[in-house]
Amino acid sequence: MNLGRKITGGKYHRRKKKVLSHRDSQERIVELGETKRKSLRVKGGNTKTILLKSNIANLLHNGKIKKVEIKNVVETPQNFFLARQNRLMKGSIILTSAGKARITNRPSQEGMVNAILLEE
């Protein structure tokens, strides 16, 4: 029998080694609170700024952007328990000093909160 071959003729494949880039990262939870950021080293030696806590959002209204204070998380479409925990994530409805707004970006990936004012 040939070395490294099955009886059917197929090859035995060596188990692959663990690679750092295949490892899962820790879940990043963005909560309402005094703004807190963190820098991470990512693939290729680049850095990514992530958000851990925030109480400020960049609000878009009538083509103009202004910074507003986040007061509360009203609703989270993914899971209503996350709104109780004041988690900031894409699609969440937040109560700001200018009114209700919807988060349009992923704060855990981008290091800031962007939102659009909802018309009531």
At 4-13, the pLDDT tens digits run: 788 898 988 8
CATH 3.40.350.10 for domain 28-117: no
Report how far residue 74's alpha carbon sits from residue 102's, in angstroms, rounded to the nearest whole number.
10
What confidence score (pLDDT) does residue 2 get? 65
CA trace torsion 67, 112, 94, 81 (10° rounding) = -160
Report how far residue 15's alpha carbon sits from residue 116's, in angstroms, rounded to the nearest whole number.
49
At 34-66, the pLDDT tens digits run: 999 999 988 888 999 999 999 999 999 999 999
- The label of the residue with tokens 């990262």 reads 25
